Amino acid sequence: MAYDNYERWKHNVIQGEPFLSIVIPAYNEAVRIIPTIGAIASHVSDLGFDWELLIADDGSIDNTVELVENLDFANLHVLKAPQNGGKGSAVQRGMLATRGKYVLFSDADNSTPIEEVERFINALDSEGYEVAVGSRAVEGAQEANKSLLRHILSGGLRAIVRYGLNIKVSDTQCGFKMYTRKAAHRLHSTQTIMGFSFDLELLYLASKIGYQIKEVPVTWVDAPGSKVDTRKEVQRFVRDMVRIKLNDFKGIYDRRLNDADRTRHNVPA
């Protein structure tokens, strides 16, 4: 039965609005992208709803795009970029292209396994949250293969975020987050940070707007082959925290939110 559902998803274009859209940002992911697509497609296809998968390429210079396009799956879409613009840029393009009632962003390394997705759907569909955030820092979460350095840095960054930006989310950087489509489009239309810290900005905006956010404990495995230079990203993270506060002080977010709302409702400026 599971294989039959997978085959239908591969070959039959869904009609109407998908229940779920999944966005995976990808930059030079030729080694990992096909196993990740296979794992996601085989599991989600068996959950009993219509869904789409978007691979938001970030200007890969390997054969990531070719590999994905050669799959020729009916409900798999590749969004190409002419050049590398940053992970946040790729996620933004993917999120704004989604059509699903609910929208999931998941990292290409599948560090948080797709089997966690049902708890996120429940948080939005049954519990009424607008944002569900995968968390490695709340009770019930499990981490594997995480280095001591990353443990120390993660704890320090969480404290900085809590006191510096007053965000009530313990883990802002886990690459597994789900939104209602309205929340996803509104947040990503307002987004200004296109690098590693884009999650931080989105959660700051979600708190500013007043969206209900749920932290969902996840199993997380530090997958080999990470492209993140931890020390450099910590510096950028702190710099982007200052940028977020300045953006808010200058009224940039209020203006962009108003523009996004006008566009959504087709109201002239």
Specify the pLDDT at position 227: 60
Share of the chain above pLDDT 70, in %: 88
Range of the domain at 142: 2-265
The number of folded domains in the chain is 1
pLDDT band at 265 (very low <50, low <70, confident <90, very high): low
pLDDT band at 220 (very low <50, low <70, confident <90, very high): confident
| pLDDT tens digits for range 157-200 | 666 777 678 888 888 889 999 999 999 999 999 999 999 889 99
What whole-number distance in Å separates Cα of residue 158 and Cα of residue 79?
32
Which range of 82-86, 163-167, 178-182, 227-231 scores highest in mean pLDDT? It is: 178-182
Mean pLDDT on 232-247 = 88
Specify the pLDDT at position 212: 96
Least confident of 43-47, 99-103, 143-147: 143-147
> What is the CATH classification number for the domain harbouring 70?
3.90.550.10
Q: What is the pTM of this model?
A: 0.91
Top-confidence residue, 226 or 37: 37
